[in-house]
Structure 1
Amino acid sequence: MQIRNSLLSAMMVLMGLLFAQGSAGGQEASDGDASAAAGRVWTDDTGHHRVRATLIDSDRKAVILRTDAGQQITVPLNRLSTADQQYVRQQSTAAAEFLPEQMQLRYAHSKQFLVRAGVEITGSQGVCNQIVVTFPLPMSWPEQHVEILDEDISPGVQRVTTRILNEGVRQVEFRVPRLVAGQSAHVIYTLRIERFHILAPEQPHALRFASPVGRDLRPYLAESPYIEIGHPRVKAAVSEIPIDASQSAWQQVETIYDWTRARISHYDGVRPLQGALRGLETGSGDCEEITSLFVAMCRLRGIPARCVWVEGHTYPEFYLEDPNGNGVWIPCESLGDRVFGGMPSYRLLLQKGDRFTMAQKRGPQRYVAPTISGTVDRDGAQPILREILEQEEVQ
């Protein structure tokens, strides 16, 4: 962490103002204030002013605090009370005792699969010209290694290209100049995929909140489709979470996780996607509602989080850093068994993220699905698109 000495005097004044706002007359915030109750109480060196805030980072000269109002401030260490200075040193010492690899995820117990992935289009009626087709194709991640073994491209297919969208999904695009009723075209890949279980870090409590949040992480703090962090009802819900800011970052996110799973009960049925807001209002949902609400609550507390899409399921990841600034995206299970910090699953990993920019669609997309477009004659219709995703385990 770099602290600008020229700003320290200004920050001292700001700290005093914030302490004064946090507690008039040196008294703690009232128990009835749910938002204030979430933070550790920090006291200045005079003992007259207090404020509730979360420790984000520290060095030998200063600390970075985030108040419950969302303000991030840098405070000289010697302006804190003796007890607070001791607390900061304890946190720094605890983190320094661990090796960097002890704060990283671990991967074990792999399985390998042969996978056929692609699309086939079939002319349905009349003639369709200048057809453009896109579809997502699994890509490599730390927990999933993907190797392309074969490409099956039918005659008539042109200009097969691939691109990575928002660092979270590989998209394939191809073109077919002309397709008549009953005629088919396809692009199908054969993949070898090795999928690993994710194990939690050995020393998770040494991980910290990212500070500052880098530009590449800012999309994971923004509103996304069905993650409505700007809605008043969703914003108000974050104050319901009983977070103890004196705990580690890991424990604080774990509190959000347990609160979310308790807040939305599993709806075992079929209905349209609801998202975070409707999940809050109805109190029920499936893996997508639970994931959306968890991601929303993390983002409202300044913690980057995102959706992970695997075959037939969705779960969230959140982002923390070790004391050296090395980032870790940490998974947790949205539905079923309580699994926080790991993922004992072999489901094929399809995409990561929930705010994708697609040339074929207007506005941000929650998920990258196959698309098809083309020009049809008067009596024609768009071809029928069939997505292909087949797998078999390799012993």
Structure 2
Amino acid sequence: MLGGNNRTRMHTRHGIRGIAASCAVTTVVGITAVPAAAENGVGHPDFRPDQWGLEAIGATEMWEETEGAGIEVAVPGPSVHEDHPDLRDNLTVDTEFGDNSGNTDLGTGMAGLIAGHGHGMDADGGVLGAAPSATLRALPTDDDMDGAIRSAAADGAQVVVLPETGAEMASATEAAVAAGAVVVGPAGNGGDPNVLTVAPTDEDGQLAGNTADASEIDLTAPGAELYTAGPDMSETQVSGAPYASAVAAGGIALLRSAYPQLQPEQVHDAVLEGSQQGPGGVPALSLAGAQGEAEGAAQDSPVFDEDLVDETDQGAQIPVWVWFAVVGAVLLFGILALVMWVRRSTRDPYGVEAERREEDEEIAASRAAEE
């Protein structure tokens, strides 16, 4: 089903700047050591049977239709372990806004929850993200989040997931939405109307950790004791709002892959309107419900532009004056051909010129003989 080592390697680097650990978020973020998991027969621990978050949002059911192929998810801010076996080959690191030398725990954990693809033969072992066939683009930075967000969306990322949110980034997130991206981030730290804010829930569906006020939460998603890619080529368990945002971003990548014609606001509405009732009445992410809403919206938004097709069809029609010009040219050619034929056929109707030529030839031959 999934291949861990058959993708084309895509590591890229652009420029160098300094970076610091600005990815320390105000929400509760936990990383714990992982106990030994059951071996899968090839020497790689397989944590996928314990990835309850994927089942909770309905990602595994949606994989029958798409695994997120063709969608790029951008993660501006934290550094990411670009050689991790669960991320290798579908991860690009863009160092235009800072180098990738910071702490990689947060960024690697988020990346694994979004698009981890496992490792080993046929992806045996490791962890899977919600959209394992999506591509990831990390843009590590500590002092230019606005630039990283704008660049990610301008370069074609359909989903942008933030490690933290804040009103100070509203201008950049607005530009990202205008460029066609759905922007997701952890709830809290003030409102940003351009960001789909997410709070974490545990396996029982209850809010986990010190979450934001309900007024600042748009959606809840699994965000407690989640297995994901960790430091030192390993897997780990994480908890916190940034990780819930990563799970939601992976789910949205599946929706965008299945319905590429939908605009960011349509995807945003489909996710919220298709959600289930969560803790305290806060919406909980449900890809089945969101897919139903997206299906309805997609019927009114075909993949191709019908107006453009109509304009193209109209443009392909030949104007009436062209038809008259063509017919006139054909008639003129016919008349000229007829005139030439008549002139040629009436040039010597009685053969007088032919007789004169014959007489002249005879006289010339007789003179030649006398001489």
Tell me the TM-score normalised to structure 1 length. 0.23
- More strand per residue: 1
User: Larger relative contact order (C-alpha < 8 A, sep ≥ 6)?
Assistant: 1
Larger radius of gyration, structure 1 or 2? 2
